Amino acid sequence: MELAADAAGSRSSGGEPPPPDDRELVALALDRADAFAELYRRHVRDIHAYVYRRCGSSTVADDVTAAAFERALRHLRRFEWRDGGFRAWVFRIAANELTDHYRREDGRRRRDHRAAAAGIGVVFDADPAIAVDDREDPDGRATAQLRSALALLPPRYQEAITLRYLSGLSQQEAAAAMGSSKATFAVTLHRALRALQQIMEPQQ
């Protein structure tokens, strides 16, 4: 594989060189389209799955995922390697792209979500990811209700919850994706979960 050979550089031979890691690919991708294509192949499924779990629409997930990688390519020279690396960076871009997508919609969406979230009657679980687990939610009802409740939260709270629980990122990676310290992210996540719980608690 040419990418592996290029990334290996002057490392000693003696067998097939290992494939380049993301950091090496980012450096190569500044000048080579095939290196960015490899980054895309590595991460597109996770990014698409994350967006779909947030919005529930394959069409929106396709559009947002494509926009996220296009934006990543345009701004690659500005990217600075931090905890979480390229993967966490693209998750953050995707979260922002989805927020922008919903901002372009009219106020009807928010009214619809408020109606759907009202009287949810679902006992909140500390891990919102359970609501989007097909084994725990076979008819999709809890997932739809969770999305409606999330849509009523401030965008930063939505981002914190979904990056931590719906993307497969660790707490440290999610913090990096939001550009926060781990301590700051923990506070934001705690407040976001508390706000989500208040929305999702059964109406008295």
**28 and 95, same domain (yes or no):** yes
Report d(CA 143, CA 164) in Å as an integer: 16
User: Does the pLDDT at position 121 exceed 70?
Assistant: no
**89 and 128, same domain (yes or no):** no
With CA atoms as reference, report the closest residue to 87 among 144, 42, 53.
42
DSSP structural state of residue 128: G
Taking a C-beta distance cutoff of 8 angstroms, is the pair 96, 155 a contact?
no
Report d(CA 120, CA 177) in Å as an integer: 30
Specify the CATH number for the domain of residue 190. Answer: 1.10.10.10
Domain end among 56, 82, 104 = 104
Domain end among 53, 79, 104 = 104
Domain end among 81, 104, 127 = 104
**59 and 93, same domain (yes or no):** yes
Asked, for residue 124, whether it belongs to a domain, the answer is yes
- Report the Cα 91 to chain-centroid distance in Å: 4
Residue-range definition of the domain harbouring residue 67: 20-104
**Crossing angle (nearest 10°) for helices 33-55 and 58-74:** 140
- At 70-101, the pLDDT tens digits run 999 999 999 988 888 999 999 999 999 998 88
Tell me how far apart the terminal alpha carbons of the chain are, to the nearest angstrom.
62
Number of domains in the chain: 2
- At 126-163, the pLDDT tens digits run 555 555 555 555 556 777 778 888 888 888 999 899 89
- Two tokens at 90? 């693209």
**132 and 175, same domain (yes or no):** yes
